[in-house]
Structure 1
């Protein structure tokens, strides 16, 4: 053998060792290629991989407001990637990208020399963009040191196969669609939207350089967390571009002087615009995907990249939320001040104990078999926690009980705006803070609706033939067959002698008259009318229903009120227009759902609109005119429930229905006074402030300047009567305002 002819034994053994090492290396590489160290994807697998794509939620005006995802990724095509971004990536990450075939042996040699021989740990890993793509597609599952070499070799093999399958442009596209930018954000499109609130194709060169600079260390060079380090890294990317002749030195120097300007927008479930609305869309989408699965179509809202186009108006929602925050902050302060030191969340131990026992943390400890005293000791233990109010977030020493009582006093709200002709939702506010109050008061909460139910009573009355100028006494009556039930008004005793027309009684929300109108109409007729108008919730078959003791969903109430603007036909609020796939091909379009037949006559509709105009012009909601100076065409109704626990306001404009509720989640606490808790004070301002803002923008003139249809002169004649008549001398003589008149409630439909 040739080796035997070599006389120098050291040389001979050295050659043998080299051959052995080479053989071992070849066998080692082959064993990895054969899959002995774990499966390596074949070319057919690599050519057919699928991205997990985030589904996107858009407003009616095509503004992205939310995503549903496991990985926040929105893949884009090569044509949507700006050339400057590609040049920045190649310059800093792989300057010989267009010269190698997936493995840069020159770079590997440099790394080996510096790392192994010169112990230079800053020399980098020598991975090409193609190798990094391989790592993105098939992440390293086990990062112990013994497997690093195996992982590297696997990535080199995969990289070679990727280069055989894809063009250089396709590799860059796949890489930029899969690379992580930290915080569960994957791909350049999602990163551009998060850090600069724009699509990747619209990035400026300095913005592209900032994002590319993050790839070396997504946290360490995060421009939001470490702006100075990110700026330095961005300028290094610009220098690399100049070094590779992608930009001129003068352009690099000019760009390097620019400040780092972010427009950070995280698509967090708890934050951003319309979080309650987005959650309701998510629930609807889960139901839709399940229905599709039953039909043999596999869609996943977290991975399929669906595009959900909603009916929400971006600007209106933004203004509605701003109006809500401004009003609720002020109202909360007044609410707490009204109770002072006697607040139930401070003084009412029985109520606090009840709240604690209803809490999830108490129930969890109880289910674990922990004794009662130990549970209370645990919940009373102080610890550092963050408590939020309208002013700030505060880190304090507090117990779980302290936290529960802190949030117990928060007023909450729900409001909804919709197109009365289609039911398309324009704004949706389910509460004051989605992070801390997940319960949606639009779709989940049923509350007593108070006087906002009265229009249904009056509508039924008109339909059975009661004339709008029929007069009803405001005198308080004690109904003997209803266990002495005696509805009253908030006015003075002089009302005993007053008789109201229906219009005047409704506009001033006179309780005693509403009950008498219901008595004359018949409870069954009223309940049937409410059902025909879209109230599907079962209502109490009792005279008190005239005062809104029935509990109704807010969106249900809005759909029913829409009938007054929609030829007597109720609408079903809807909020998804179309669902498209990842290629923007429409999968389904949702049509408005409206009642086929009107619930009442056109004459009744016009009478009711005129009556509710009076509520705004001279009734309980007149502060829209006097305080908020709104001259828009508006009709509506205020509502306040017993003990001031629920405040309501419904606004009707020719092109918009807006419903607002304000109260506490704990039904046992109400406003301290009617002055503070009435619908006109607690709920109305949210609509008023929204409309004030809309009036400032000509693009919303179609809504704000719309006028009601011309009322039939015959209807106006029917309403042309004295609003109030006073009892004659002899009637007043025999009436005692200090003594309630007793009689039986006439309707046979009621349940005592």
Structure 2
């Protein structure tokens, strides 16, 4: 038997069992070795990029992320972002432990044990494919999912390309595990994931969905966000709340399964609603939108070049050129470069911009604008226009004037530009603008859906009064509040730093400053009589007053400024020259063009609120002009300081002159056109101010100074032909002053701000009499006192 079963070789010699299996073993190990070699070569090729893209070592060490730039107030509140992707970076320490536990329990329970690839997980997937068990789950680890997010998959059609793609992700995952710690991988995952609705990264997601921060997320909130990781488009809490709720509970059950959560806690949490507190991401909404837009355009500005400005924009070119040369933050992104030599990009470099704004004071300013315009002034304006021929326009406009105004507005609109670009004729465009369409319009009670033609909507919007407001600390130049209009979404034109309007009598303090410099004092008396100037062409010009109060008498300069009397301003101008007034205004920070003509004190020049606030701060800052500033510093996303603010200031006048001017301005509030601050708003602390009203009451101004804050207000409509008809409602004391008063009431009431109601500091050696004799003899008639002299051109 044994002989029959024995095998023999070619020489008829018996073969042993070892010799009998030697050849198959050699074949087996040869094939195995070749497979191993092929696998090694294959993965080496994958790693080297032979079979498709593979990130370099530098890219793995520094994966490119588009991080949003964050804008903070001086009291530490985030008020806005600039971004391509609304992503903000967080450290691992800023993540709620619930987030980490939920993600591990749901997506990769052996995350802390594997090195990028979970072999057991792959086996589970393979078994599921063989048995058809869909509940077996996926085999992608957190590291692999991160690899997909950092280096997105290409679009493939062939199956082999899809296979290569999967292998590449394995290699990237392993490389990530070698380059980063587990905590770093977890942090990168949460910073990279897109949670939809402009919530990129967990910091944005926590704010968008729950109005909180990642470290403050509750366990059920963390579970919802982790649940979205499976498919954020499908598990979208805004579109599919029920599915998202079920998915959240699946995550919670996984946490129970792996002992991150007790069964009792789960039974309680699963019944809770999603609790969404959605914060819509929109640069047109939120706090200080006008200010944020000014920052964006200022930081990203290019060096001014005359050929990029239209022929009518000479002043803007000059202004921008001065800013480029003197303001390090103007065009900052283009003036500074990163380590790689490329300019900074506020949309993706994750900068942190620390501004001078105070969120509390900004809120009070915005509330004051809305309260006065929406609850008081607009209603009065609408009542006045009810019986007009072509409201909201003044009755001195003809039907042709109104039609031409609407035609001009049509040609300036974006709708017109698009239609014109598409080749539509002018007549056809006019028909489009007359055709009613569905639209959402602004009202003081909120937006309203309606049907209206574009022409009618333009006419409707022209009827709203607008405002510009800015408040700053005169000693530091730091701007604390900035309101460019009543509603940025519907009135985007910034009336603080962009829009210019005629300033009326608020220009008179520049003139009176020259008088104080020449040795005159507030109580010096001058004749209240007409003054005549001879113009260059030989024509005589005489100033006019709007009241006969004390005509022909000797009155003090203090009385003259307090009541904005043009005869007194004309007398003061005769002691100097219009050119000197222009020079003084420019030294006090006014860049806008001012014509050096005898009527200069009527305020026909167009100046911004920003310039006027900076100029008036010179009086409080003891004669030193300090340029208003908006930024304290800029940091990169790692906290390295890239730029810091340096005050820009120069002396304009001596302390004596500045103090005398504050006294003159106090007279305006004590017994002049600003007296309603006392009797109506109860502000009895030391305050100086100046009202301003332009011809036809188109523009109302109030500039207010206190020892710690200087603030300016402009109020008017888009068109100067839309205005109040009379001085009672149309003066600066009624249009603009109330906003200043409401703001200051709120500021003084907030003790956390530390704004006191102290007096202006008196310089040493000033002994001039400031208690003028005629103050006690002035009329107590409030209507006479408040009726500001209208400026006749």
Which category of TM-score, normalised to the shorter sequence, fits these structures?
0.7 to 0.9
Q: Deviations over 1:193-239 (max 9, x none)?
A: 33334332233323322322222232444445555544443333222
Q: 2: distance between equivalents of 1:264 and 1:468?
A: 58
Task: Name the SS of the counterpart of 2:559 in structure 1.
Answer: helix
Distance 1:115 1:582, change over 3 A: same
Q: Deviations over 1:658-691 (max 9, x none)?
A: 0111112223322333222211111112121111
Q: 2: distance between equivalents of 1:584 and 1:137?
A: 23
Q: 1:419: how far off?
A: 0.6
Match of 2:425 among 366, 371, 381: 371
Match of 1:443 among 497, 516, 519: 497
- Who is 1:631 aligned against? 684
Q: Deviations over 1:499-521 (max 9, x none)?
A: 43211121112233222322333
Worse-matched range after superposition: 356-365 or 577-586: 356-365
- Who is 2:735 aligned against? 682
- Who is 1:80 aligned against? 94
Match of 2:459 among 384, 405, 414: 405
Match of 1:277 among 266, 291, 311: 291
Q: 2: distance between equivalents of 1:123 and 1:489?
A: 90
Structure 2 unaligned residues grouped into runs of 5+: 1-31, 301-330, 394-398, 779-792
After TM superposition, list the pairs within 5 Å mapping 1:492-511 onto structure 2.
493=548, 495-511=550-566
Conserved? CA contact 2:533–2:598, under 8 Å = no
Q: 2: distance between equivalents of 1:515 and 1:144?
A: 84
Is residue 199 of structure 1 aligned with residue 213 of structure 2? yes
- Who is 1:8 aligned against? none
Q: 2: distance between equivalents of 1:430 and 1:306?
A: 24
- Who is 1:594 aligned against? 649
Conserved? CA contact 2:522–2:664, under 8 Å = no
Q: 2: distance between equivalents of 1:153 and 1:693?
A: 63
Q: 1: distance between equivalents of 2:240 and 2:767?
A: 69
Task: Name the SS of the counterpart of 1:651 in structure 2.
Answer: strand
Match of 1:659 among 712, 718, 723: 712
Is residue 569 of structure 1 aligned with residue 624 of structure 2? yes
Conserved? CA contact 1:649–1:660, under 8 Å = yes
- Who is 1:174 aligned against? 188
Is residue 134 of structure 1 aligned with residue 147 of structure 2? yes
TM-score (normalizing by structure 2):
0.81
Q: 1: distance between equivalents of 2:611 and 2:500?
A: 10
Q: 1:30: how far off?
A: 8.6
Q: 1:322: how far off?
A: 1.4
Q: 1: distance between equivalents of 2:241 and 2:738?
A: 41
Conserved? CA contact 2:655–2:763, under 8 Å = no
Q: 1:143: how far off?
A: 6.4
Q: Deviations over 1:318-370 (max 9, x none)?
A: 11111111212122232222112524457622322232233343345446654
Task: Name the SS of the counterpart of 1:500 in structure 2.
Answer: strand
Conserved? CA contact 1:266–1:272, under 8 Å = no
Q: 2: distance between equivalents of 1:185 and 1:715?
A: 63
Q: Deviations over 1:86-107 (max 9, x none)?
A: 1111112222323444334544
Structure 1 unaligned residues grouped into runs of 5+: 1-18, 727-751
Conserved? CA contact 1:60–1:309, under 8 Å = yes
Distance 1:148 1:683, change over 3 A: farther
Match of 2:76 among 43, 56, 62: 62
Q: 1: distance between equivalents of 2:164 and 2:239?
A: 34
Task: Name the SS of the counterpart of 1:70 in structure 2.
Answer: coil
Conserved? CA contact 2:43–2:171, under 8 Å = no
Worse-matched range after superposition: 521-530 or 479-488: 479-488
Conserved? CA contact 2:523–2:769, under 8 Å = no
- Who is 1:332 aligned against? 378
- Who is 1:552 aligned against? 607
Conserved? CA contact 1:603–1:715, under 8 Å = no
Conserved? CA contact 2:435–2:453, under 8 Å = yes
Match of 1:704 among 726, 734, 756: 756
Conserved? CA contact 1:640–1:648, under 8 Å = yes
Q: 1: distance between equivalents of 2:269 and 2:670?
A: 60
- Who is 2:781 aligned against? none
After TM superposition, list the pairs within 5 Å mapping 1:601-750 onto structure 2.
601-700=654-753, 702-710=754-762, 715=767, 717-723=769-775
Q: 2: distance between equivalents of 1:472 and 1:238?
A: 84
Worse-matched range after superposition: 103-112 or 540-549: 103-112
- Who is 1:300 aligned against? 345
Distance 1:174 1:327, change over 3 A: same
The number of residue pairs the alignment matches comes to 703
Worse-matched range after superposition: 372-381 or 542-551: 372-381
- Who is 2:785 aligned against? none
